[in-house]
Amino acid sequence: MAEIAFHNVSKRYGEAIALSDASFTVNDNEFFCFFGPPLSGKSTILRLILGLETPDEGEILIGGKPVNQVSPAERNVAMVFQNLALFPHMSAADNIRFPLVERKVPTIQIERKLADVAAKLHIAHILHKAPAQLSGGERQRVAIARALVRDPAAYLMDDPISALDARLREETRVELKRIQRELGKTLIYVTHDQEEAMSVADRMAILEEGHIRQIGTPADIYDRPASSYVARLLGSPMMNILPSGLIADGAISIPGFGAKGDISEIGVRPEDIKVRPWSASDGGNPAKVFEVEPLGGYTVVTVDAGQTRIRALMRGQPDIRPETKVALACDTARVHYFSKAGAALPR
């Protein structure tokens, strides 16, 4: 069983707080993602799990056992490093064999594992090459393969595919997801790419400056962000977050929206905004289309509404032109409300 849990774990480097009072449980077999901007504490969490760092406070458990006093070698978790370091004098195949050779695994088993992982990562045709003969993407896959051949309690990956180009990244993340499901192993995955996090994670934790701000399934967090910070991090284009006062001047209409006590800002996802031509009977102040971005399957329409700019995501290629007057609307049920401090308020 490879459940991994933190109980109120904190880690400081001198004055800097890298992780503050973090508690979470990654379930056995789960694809769990840590997502946050640079320096939010993601790599620190992985180093703490590996045992490369010790917590200042709190307890870390692997498979239900406290490991604060357990050495990295005895923790049996495998890391795919951010900076992949393949042995330059060894072929890709020998790089992948290495962790098994080191553990004196019988040759027959090694070759079976190698063939298996090479097929899964589509690298069978490059196994004979030296790292210098491989592209960045191929090196990355070989490094992933080397981690996969071991049989650890859990795999850790620190932004493993960020060096790949966009297309290969999309392909590889789908593969990783499938591989994780087939292996039936716990995978803890760090990324600073929201789309990647949403696409791979069974559940994810959102980090801000060493604090875990929310834990849940991607769909849950997307639909019910706990704060405007989290709301802004997920989704592209980003959620529109507007001062609540703006609704009063008629630039955007939300049926049934009344002044609710503590609301400071409202949030509406671009896909929840409806854009239609303005007519005099709409009253209020018309909004004006600022720019239209046709992206093929959908179109981003940026609209100037009162003091603010709102982005709407529309299906297909609607017939909307810059400079035209439009009315914006959205479902009350799709609106998010935030307090002055940024906390989500009940809808």
Nearer to ligand ADP, 142 or 207 (CB): 207
- Indicate whether 134 belongs to the interface with ligand ADP (CB under 6 A): no
Cα 226 to Cα 212: distance, rounded to the nearest angstrom: 11
Please, which of residues 12-71 interact with ligand ADP by CB under 6 A?
13, 16, 18, 36, 38-44
Only one residue has tokens 């209020």, namely: 284
Nearer to ligand ADP, 201 or 273 (CB): 201
- Indicate whether 87 belongs to the interface with ligand ADP (CB under 6 A): no
- Indicate whether 299 belongs to the interface with Mg ion (CB under 5 A): no
> Do 298 and 237 form a contact (C-beta atoms < 8 A)?
no
| Interaction partner, residue 36 (Mg ion, ligand ADP, none; CB < 5-8 Å by kind) | ligand ADP
Nearer to ligand ADP, 16 or 259 (CB): 16
> Do 322 and 290 form a contact (C-beta atoms < 8 A)?
yes
Nearer to ligand ADP, 205 or 310 (CB): 205
Amino acid at residue number 225? P
| Interaction partner, residue 38 (Mg ion, ligand ADP, none; CB < 5-8 Å by kind) | ligand ADP
**Could you give the C-alpha distances from 103 to 86, 186, 223, 234, 248, in angstroms and in order?**
18, 21, 46, 42, 69
Nearer to Mg ion, 26 or 320 (CB): 26
- Indicate whether 43 belongs to the interface with Mg ion (CB under 5 A): yes
Shortest distance, position 317 Cβ to ligand ADP, whole Å: 38
Structure token digits, residue 114: 């190698």
Cα 34 to Cα 32: distance, rounded to the nearest angstrom: 7
- 246 phi-psi bin (left φ>0, alpha ψ -120 to 50, beta other): alpha
Task: Count interface residues toward ligand ADP (CB under 6 A).
Answer: 11
Cα 127 to Cα 299: distance, rounded to the nearest angstrom: 43
Q: Which residues here bind ligand ADP, judged by CB under 6 A? A: 13, 16, 18, 36, 38-44
Binding site for Mg ion (CB under 5 A): 43
